[in-house]
Structure 1
Amino acid sequence: MIKEASVILLLSAAKTIALATPKEINSREFTSHSNGTVSIRLPGTSTIQSLQPVQFCGEYVPLKQSTVTRRWVTVLLQQSKHRDYLLRLRKRAVKFFPVIEPILAKYNIPRDFKYLPLVESDLSGNSTSPKGAGGYWQLMPQTARDYGLTVSAGNDERRDLYKSTVAACRYLNELYDELGSWTLVAAAYNSGATHVQKRINQQGIRSYYNLRLHRETSKYLYRVLAYKELLTRPRIYSDMLQPAVLADLTRPLPGERFQPDVMPFVGTTSEPGLEPEPTWGPRSRNFLEETLAQIVGESEDGNPSSDAASTSMTASPSQTPMAMAGLMGLQVLRFRRSRLYQVFLAAKRKIQPLFDWDWV
């Protein structure tokens, strides 16, 4: 009986190990498309997930590299399993991001770095690591002192969100001056600039995604990106998420300034690291110009009709009174229907909305 029990335990342990490191992790099917997306078969299922382009501070994740895609999907699946934890982080982000974002902007730090404290401390000021790093940004005591913070038994300013964010921004800028890449800065924030620079010198590679780093550091940026994607674009990962998790990530929260997925990310922006986040906003200018052209009577060949001097959005009222009247009307139509619905919900729940009217 004892021998049989031992065999059963060994088989059970082997099964557990097999589940922890399934073979599918290294044998997914990848299909790269010309538009930058990548299709993959999720492990253990017949579901195909289309991965949209992902970027950190303006630098795209090279999803066409199978190693990178495997690591990205693995981390994304791991992070998306924790429903209560993700909802708790989202509620903290609603409270703390409005404090963090202006400080990042003041010090010219890309706003993607606001997701670092989610990985570092779960956005908790009382968090302390076994090595002594503490506060929202998990600064080491000496690093915190170097950037002007007081760290003592009775007064630890690493637990002050504003002061610790300022110190972290100064530290991030110094790392960027040394490494010249925001992805490498994120890696250096986790493992130290010395480690990252040493690996760069040894391998002759300056791409975070191709550098061989410590195991924790090699997954660090993927974890940051996972929180960024799950909190801002959860619906595009619907095949990976449980329905309850997706419902939690897309349900409007009191005080939240944007609703995830209302304005999906497309294309690039003029400034690195400033991709548009999901937010309530106007329809595209093309739509407005097309509608305005219909109001002022634009001809089929794209030229103004004889009774309209110009269809320019910036034309003066004296030149095109009809166009300006139409534009004033379009200011009323500028909201998406979904936003009007949120205004209705806010009024019904007696929540003071955080958005105001703005002009097209």
Structure 2
Amino acid sequence: MIKKASVILLLSSLNFATAKDVHSREFTSHSNGTVSVRLPGTATIQSLQPVQFCGESVPLRQSKVTRRWVTVLLQQSRHRDYLLRLRKRAVHFFPVIEPILAKYKIPRDFKYLPLAESDLSGSSTSPKGAGGYWQLMPQTARNYGLIVRAGRDERRDLQKSTVAACLYLRELYSELGSWTLVAAAYNSGVTHVQKRIDQQGIRSYYNLRLHRETSTYLYRVLAYKELLTRPRMYSDMLHPAVLADLTKPLPGERFQPGVMPFVRQSTEPGVEPEPTWGPRSRNLLEEALAQIINGSTGGDGSAEDSGSMMTSPGHAPMSAAALLGGRVLRFRRSRLYQVFLAARRKIQPLFDWDWV
């Protein structure tokens, strides 16, 4: 079933739009959740893939939502040097932020909030006095255990400020019950959001009439998420130089951003997907190796079960040799694959080889 609505995209003479050029243009919404937008002046059709924040889908079928989403995407994608700088900072900071979010059961998408708040800069301070990576107000920071005084401001400590932000986000969620509304309240305050909910009788961030900055805040966070993880999905909107910067490998980056599949995140409490930035936790093979090498056994002397793999004392040397051989094969295969691509296609693989 195809539904049509109005959204305008007015592009510049170079066919790359700026935010002020976006008003309304015909687009097509498909049953699979994608939205096709024809770029004016060209025969190019940009397909907008489903987008979600903390498991809550963005209603792209609504013309107002699509217009706002495209506007923010185009606005953020204009700043080439800025986006590359954010990528480089994220490589170092996300591995610190993600485990803390997981510990306090905050959805992983909130790691993109500091990009919109402070550009991942600890020295950033707003005119209203909010400071640090998470732009916490002085009294809010003190309420959650941070020291804020002349000569010592723990809002500039990434780990401590992230813990305080997690505690604050959990409190907001207990009041609002929606992670999208939590993001809005983080920007404008819970009083403003709750007042608008009471006045309008609406509990959807995308349909609430909020302050201008707050009404686009979550879209900015989502734009950072999309542009840093799957920029090729928006290749028709991006200048080739910007796309090249967003897809080239960076030292220390866990993966090269590419066409990341749309995977609906689990909403079960306590279930947190593996981090996409930084080192991953040990997989099944590594757990089995650790048990064999350490001689791990159960309380009755029998070998413990590691998933579907069973080990026994009598077969430990043979199992260890086989698994270690698998590790060597995995490494050699990855290196050979990279050399092959470098020689034949002059590119690097999108993802590291993993055990199968």
Residues 135, 41 of structure 1: alpha-carbon distance in 2 compared, 3 angstrom cutoff: same
In structure 2, what residue type is equivalent to 1:132?
A: G
In structure 2, what residue type is equivalent to 1:242?
A: H
Of residues 78, 83, 90 in structure 2, which corresponds to 1:81? 78
Contact 2:334/2:352 (8 A) holds in 1 = no
The yes-or-no answer on 1:133 pairing with 2:114 is no
The yes-or-no answer on 1:271 pairing with 2:267 is yes
When normalised by structure 2's length, the TM-score is 0.74
Question: Deviation string for 1:37-62 (max 9, x for gaps)?
Answer: 10012355442100000000000000
Of residues 174, 177, 201 in structure 1, which corresponds to 2:198? 201
The yes-or-no answer on 1:160 pairing with 2:157 is yes
Residue 266 of structure 1, CA deviation: 3.0
Alignment of 1:208-247 (within 5 A): 208-247=205-244
SS at match of 2:46: strand
SS at match of 1:224: helix
CA distance in 1, matches of 2:211, 2:164: 25
Residues 267, 167 of structure 1: alpha-carbon distance in 2 compared, 3 angstrom cutoff: closer
SS at match of 1:218: helix
Higher strand share: 2
Residues 314, 39 of structure 1: alpha-carbon distance in 2 compared, 3 angstrom cutoff: same
Aligned to 2:55: 58
Contact 1:147/1:170 (8 A) holds in 2 = yes
Identity level (%): 80
Of residues 30, 35, 38 in structure 2, which corresponds to 1:38? 35
Aligned to 1:26: 23
Question: Deviation string for 1:95-140 (max 9, x for gaps)?
Answer: 1001101100010000100000000000000000000000000000
CA distance in 2, matches of 1:129, 1:345: 46
Contact 1:265/1:275 (8 A) holds in 2 = no
The yes-or-no answer on 1:119 pairing with 2:116 is yes
Residues 265, 277 of structure 1: alpha-carbon distance in 2 compared, 3 angstrom cutoff: farther
CA distance in 2, matches of 1:205, 1:251: 42
Contact 2:154/2:161 (8 A) holds in 1 = yes
Question: Deviation string for 1:296-322 (max 9, x for gaps)?
Answer: xxxxxxxxxxxxxxxxx95989xxxxx
Contact 1:232/1:277 (8 A) holds in 2 = no
In structure 2, what residue type is equivalent to 1:208?
A: Y
CA distance in 2, matches of 1:124, 1:47: 38
Aligned length: 293
* Higher alpha-carbon Rg: 1
Residue 330 of structure 1, CA deviation: 8.9
Aligned to 2:288: none
Contact 1:265/1:276 (8 A) holds in 2 = no
Residue 29 of structure 1, CA deviation: 1.6
CA distance in 2, matches of 1:342, 1:143: 49
Question: Deviation string for 1:61-110 (max 9, x for gaps)?
Answer: 00011110000000000000100000000000001001101100010000
Unaligned runs of 5+ in 1: 1-18, 282-312, 318-323, 347-354
Residue 165 of structure 1, CA deviation: 0.4
CA distance in 2, matches of 1:47, 1:278: 31
Question: Deviation string for 1:161-214 (max 9, x for gaps)?
Answer: 111000000000000000000000000000000000000001111110011100
SS at match of 1:257: coil
Contact 1:40/1:50 (8 A) holds in 2 = yes
In structure 1, what residue type is equivalent to 2:190?
A: A
Residue 267 of structure 1, CA deviation: 4.0
**253-262 or 187-196, which deviates more:** 253-262
In structure 2, what residue type is equivalent to 1:226?
A: A
Residue 242 of structure 1, CA deviation: 0.7
The yes-or-no answer on 1:259 pairing with 2:259 is no
CA distance in 1, matches of 2:247, 2:168: 34
Residues 274, 195 of structure 1: alpha-carbon distance in 2 compared, 3 angstrom cutoff: same
